[in-house]
Chains A and B, each alone.
Chain A
Amino acid sequence: MQLYRSHVLVCGGTGCSSSGSKKVVDELEKELKAAELEGEVKIVQTGCFGLCALGPIMVVYPEGCFYSMVKPEDVHEIVTEHLLKGRIVKRLLYEETIEDDMVKSLNETNFYKKQLRVALRNCGVIDPENIEEYIGFDGYQALGKCLTEMKPDDVIDIIKRSGLRGRGGAGFPTGVKWEFAARAKGDKKYVCCNADEGDPGAFMDRSVLEGDPHAIIEAMTIAAYAIGADQGYIYVRAEYPIAVKRLEIAISQAKEYGLLGKNIFGTDFNFDLEVRLGAGAFVCGEETALMTSIEGKRGEPRPRPPFPANQGLFGKPTILNNVETLANVAQIILKGPEWFASMGTEKSKGTKVFALGGKVTNVGLVEIPMGTTLREIVEEIGGGVPNGKKFKAAQTGGPSGGCIPAQHFDVPIDYDNLIALGSMMGSGGLIVMDEDNCMVDIAKFFLGFTVDESCGKCSPCRIGTRRLYEILDRITKGEGEMEDLERLETLCHHIKASALCGLGQTAPNPVLSTLTYFRDEYIAHIVEKRCPAGVCKDLMTIQIDPDKCVGCTLCAKGCPVGAIRGKLKEKHTINQERCIRCGVCMDTCKVGAISRK
């Protein structure tokens, strides 16, 4: 194999692909050829680096230069200056990596400094479409160790001792789950991977599949060995085309290298793996619904028990693990359960990946040890709330989670603390909200999502979430009454107690947590008919200050519904009945005469 003096890593994750990284790669290939550097410089398309806000991202080794927002037209300069002459193109460097005119290592920047990458260790480092790169970074060593040196019970014991808990949200101890399935009697057993990542704003599973698909294959094979299964399924959403493609490439490479199939590592252990595509129903992320869907039936949940460990896929003992959970497994086998248990808090070991989004400077993927505070994630890693606005709350756990207000900014994040705050870990979406976000509107948004995604099998979820939504909708329109707050709370508790599956049982969380922490906002909507954040359109008017208006007509030209009247150099007025409160006029006014009331 040829040795290259320089490796250029270009992010091929979904974030960077949509900001044009493919074009950058094409241009790079062309430019390298023109400069006759193809034999010296290697282009590697990797998975997600995590700093999606700055994509497309390119890292040049050995210098470790981190170029951000690279456009195809910048490539010529990078090739002729950096790769040909060794002069780093400073203007394209991520500004935080420049210090005293020296190029600082990426790992020392605020975004990466506090991170600890276990599940994401290979994302942005290896070429996910090349099995040998994964092997070069210790891939399949853990599987080899399990199959040749360990008994299935030893594997389960190590996972149990590590304290690894399910990263899909509920936090069930992974080793215990494996043990149940191993003890269960059955002529056939299955290992499934839940890659049906449906929470709005969460994309860590996608990034792992795109950046390090072999880690999932290896972990599933280890799990199969531990419980005595010979068939596995990865259930992944069809909306993740890059992840699906890379998984399929990875599976076929693993088969070619004999790491899947019969007699793996010369033992009598056999394991085969297939991908199943989900059609995008949120409920199919629920374990029983997911397995029903793999069986080819309508994806609906069923009551538990029996638990999947005893009667799962096709009625056989099955384990179902989330992508991020599996991404930790090989590392635990290789580095030992004590290493893993040394990270995190007492009851939540290891690290957690969060998809940082919303009103935060560094939108992206971050992996931190459990027990890191919300403040550290939002302010230090995330770079804080942009535009000088104030942090108001963070939403975790998507539609199953809740909002954590600013007064709990310093709570160490782990499974139990989040539950105590009325939220939950969920799959790890973390949406930052500032003073411009209306909490009633947020609750309504998530309930709208649940109403759409409810499968309709049980009435508490099918009817209950719709009633919740209707009450919230009423409040945001200024038609609410104080009794509605009680109604909301009662209904929430009923739904939590009686819904069939996790989706319904957690659906009221966004309402309950906002009611707990932001009750005053609900009251402002109901009593004062006012939306403090200025979001709910029915509760505000847009007005032109006649003292400031200069009659430039810009607002009238911009108004999409023709609600603004006025002649040149005359004061303008807004017809409130026509106005849809879109705010376009506020943005166009040069003198700041238009405001929301």
Chain B
Amino acid sequence: MKSLEELAAIRDKMKNNAAVRESDGDEIRIVVGMATCGIAAGARPVLNAIMEELEKRDIKNVTVAQTGCIGMCKLEPIVDVYIPGKEKVSYVLMKPEKVGRIIAEHVVNGRPVLEYTIGAYEK
């Protein structure tokens, strides 16, 4: 270790990596429905795509969690995005290809991707 910068670089890398252990109330949560129905409909590739995208963009303070059956099995895979202080947004019939836009527009810039949401589906 020859400099403080080197130390800071390791710390930042690890902080990001271990952030999952320090969750507090005011962070964004992305919850993937992973009951049998979700998994059968392809929730796992979606979940992996979310993880990859977050890592690629070096986004901190986002918790990715799974949950059981959200209830509308025919619309699985379902992904809920919780941003503190805002309404929950549910994305339905998720595919890995949709993940990039959701992360970029919704998680980063705060604008939900309306066309993927459950509201758009019901119209």
Contact = CB atoms under 8 A, between A and B. Distances in A.
Interface residues of B, number: 34
How extensive is the interface on chain A, given as a class? 35 or more
Interface stretch (B18-26, B91-99, B105-113): B18-26
Interface in B41-61: 47-48, 50-51, 54-55
A546 interface: no
Contact of A62 (B1, B36, B65): B65
Contacts of A61: 20-21, 23
Contacts of A125: 21
The secondary structure that dominates the B interface is helix
B47 A5 contact: yes
B20 A258 contact: no
Interface stretch (A80-88, A441-449, A571-579): A80-88
Contacts of B11: 135-136, 138-139, 141
The secondary structure that dominates the A interface is loop
Given A1-B13, A265-B2, A266-B3, A9 B34 contact: no
A127 to B, nearest CB: 9
B7 A87 contact: no
Interface in B1-31: 1-4, 7, 10-11, 13-18, 20-21, 23
A3 B2 contact: no
Interface string A254-284: 0001110001111000000000000000000
A172 interface: no
Interface string A419-440: 0000000000000000000000
Nearest to B56: A3
B4 A265 contact: yes
A86 B65 contact: yes
Contacts of B54: 3
Contact of B20 (A62, A87, A266): A62
B35 interface: yes
Given A62-B23, A141-B11, A5 B64 contact: yes
Contacts of B34: 84-86
Given A62-B65, A85-B35, A136 B20 contact: no
A136 B10 CA distance: 7
A15 to B, nearest CB: 21
A346 interface: no
A148 interface: yes
A139 B1 CA distance: 13
B51 A135 contact: no
A211 to B, nearest CB: 14
B7 A135 contact: yes
Contact of A136 (B13, B32, B51): B13
A585 to B, nearest CB: 52
Given A132-B10, A135-B7, A136-B17, A3 B35 contact: no
Interface in A139-187: 139-141, 144, 148
A17 interface: no
Contacts of A9: 21
A64 interface: yes
Contacts of B64: 5, 62
A7 B1 contact: no
A3 B21 contact: no
A136 B1 contact: no
B35 to A, nearest CB: 6
Nearest to A137: B18
A2 B2 CA distance: 25
A73 interface: no
A1 B13 CA distance: 8
Contacts of A74: none
B19 to A, nearest CB: 9
Contacts of A259: 1
A96 interface: no
Given A62-B64, A62-B65, A136 B3 contact: no
Given A133-B18, A144-B7, 4 more contacts: A3-B55, A5-B47, A6-B20, A264-B1
Interface of B: 1-4, 7, 10-11, 13-18, 20-21, 23, 32-36, 39, 47-48, 50-51, 54-55, 63-68
11 contacts: A6-B20, A40-B48, A61-B23, A62-B65, A85-B34, A132-B14, A136-B15, A137-B14, A137-B15, A140-B7, A266-B3
Interface of A: 1-7, 9, 39-40, 61-64, 84-87, 125-126, 132-133, 135-141, 144, 148, 257-259, 263-266
